[in-house]
Amino acid sequence: MALMLATRLYPLVPSLVAIFFLPGCSSDSAQRIAFETLQNVGQQDCQKYPSAECPKRESYDDYQRERKKLESK
């Protein structure tokens, strides 16, 4: 499954890199876009391969809260 995800993400790498260098785009905005892109790719994989268990879709804000909670430990 991880290999399939990596294979699907490889064509997106130039787009994701470009997002980080767009003028006027804040770091948070770029990270949010990248997070949503990865969530969408994962969702597409779940629809394409229904035998795999699909993870619950997490919002970027929930992800950031959980991340900060773990960093503060």
Half-sphere exposure of 45 (CA within 13 A, CB side): 20
Cβ atoms of 24 and 65 within 8 Å: the answer is: no
Residue 66 lies in a domain: yes
**pLDDT tens sequence across 19-67:** 555 555 568 888 899 999 998 888 888 888 877 678 788 899 999 999 9
Domain count, the chain: 1
pLDDT at position 5 over 80: no
Is a pLDDT exceeding 70 seen at residue 13? no
* Residue 9 domain-assigned (yes or no): no
**23-53: string of b/e by CB count within 10 Å (b at 16+)?**
eeeeeeebebbbeeeebeebeeeeeeeeeee
Say if 71 falls within a structural domain. yes
Token pair listed for 61: 């804000």
5 domain residue, yes or no: no
Q: Could you tell me if residue 73 is inside a domain?
A: yes
Task: Say if 56 falls within a structural domain.
Answer: yes
Domain hosting residue 29, numbered range: 25-73
Confirm whether 30 is domain-assigned.
yes
Please give the single-letter amino acid code of residue 9. L
